[in-house]
Amino acid sequence: MRFRWQNWMAAFILVAACVGVGGGVVWYRSRLLPTLAERMERLPAGASALYLDLASMRQTGLLALLSGQNVTEDPDYTAFVASTGFDYRADLDSALIGWAGADVYILATGRFDWKAIQAHTVRSGGRCWNGVCRMRASTPSRMVSFAPLTNGMIGMAVSTDEWAVVKLQNKAPNRLAAPDAVVWAGGLGRNWRESESLPAGTRLFAKALGEAEVVTLGLHAGTAGAEVRLRAECANESAAGGVESQLRGVTEVFRKYLENVQQRPNPEDLSGILTSGTFAREGTVVTGRWPVQRPFLEKLLSGQL
């Protein structure tokens, strides 16, 4: 997979900041907001995905923890807020982000002032044609393309293809089943195995999950903390048994390592998370759970990990 925990925040902010460089005319395909399952069908087949339910994060207080990121200090974002009045903390309800190769696709829902966004786009040097707006990305040879897809939902793409956002109008088979979580990530098992950007300490788990067909990890929030839940779908029971065994083995390796260096797992850092996993298997599906304390979430969301 092409993201890490530090990078999902940047991708999320991109939803808010890039709206200001890609606006266009309002393009109403429907008055109804598509369900999450319908939105997932718009991502390219085989894409890895990250989902953030910002509406729920507001209710649980998780979104308030993002203040440590100092998002509004970014000059482009500050100018965008001043020009349009859009602020992700109040106006963005969800962001579904997909990775297909080097391309990034975003479906965001919320409340947008399209006239203000379009005016800001023109002032920012963007251009629109036939309901699709485009502007150069910060990376050379890449473009940000943007279009309102339904009332309350925008589509966005970052790609070498300046019309890539048009792909979000189509439907493609998607094997991912969205968990009922405020934040979740999922993708084909091989995408986890091939990831080079995961935090140190988690790569052995990712390699184990690489033997599964489809993997999802969800963050389920509670009042005192949260829990990360795993669902790994395997090709057969033998493969599922292998994935479960590897996950248990990696967890035991971390536990023994801490014992050897005479350290206790700390629930406020990855040592506490990685050594606390419990796993089960039913048929071809492997599940796992890791309790997450609020101090860990605070460090994670403030960029200290």
Give the Cβ contact number of residue 13 at 10 Å: 18
Rounded distance, CA 59 to CA 61, Å? 6
16: left (phi over 0), alpha (psi -120 to 50) or beta: alpha
Confidence of residue 26 (pLDDT cuts 50, 70, 90): very low
Which segment of 25-34, 141-150, 248-257 scores lowest on mean pLDDT?
Answer: 25-34
Query: For 245-269, how does the pLDDT look when each residue is reduced to its tens digit (9 = 90+)?
Result: 999 999 999 899 888 888 888 887 8
Q: Which residue has the higher pLDDT, 66 or 149?
A: 149
Which residues have CB under 8 Å from 115's CB, separation 6+?
A: none
Confidence of residue 196 (pLDDT cuts 50, 70, 90): low
Q: What average pLDDT does the segment 213-218 reach?
A: 94
What pLDDT shows up at residue 120?
75
Q: What is the average pLDDT value for the chain, to the nearest integer? A: 79
Residue 24 has pLDDT above 60, yes or no: no
What pLDDT shows up at residue 109?
93
What's the angle, vertex CA 242, arms to CA 238 and CA 233, rounded to 5?
75
Confidence of residue 223 (pLDDT cuts 50, 70, 90): low
Residue 8 has pLDDT above 60, yes or no: no
Q: What average pLDDT does the segment 156-181 reach?
A: 88
Q: Which residue has the higher pLDDT, 194 or 259?
A: 259
Q: Write down the H helix ranges in 148-229.
A: 189-193, 203-209
Query: For 34-82, how does the pLDDT look when each residue is reduced to its tens digit (9 = 90+)?
Result: 999 999 999 988 889 999 998 888 887 777 766 545 444 556 566 667 7
Matching residue, tokens 């339910």: 53
Q: Which two tokens stand for residue 261?
A: 């260096």
Q: Which residue has the higher pLDDT, 151 or 16?
A: 151
Rounded distance, CA 170 to CA 100, Å? 15
| Contact in structure between 95 and 106 (CB atoms under 8 Å) | yes
Beta-ladder partners of 144: 135, 158
For 51, the 3-state DSSP assignment is strand
Q: What average pLDDT does the segment 92-119 reach?
A: 86
Give the Cβ contact number of residue 154 at 10 Å: 28
What pLDDT shows up at residue 192?
79
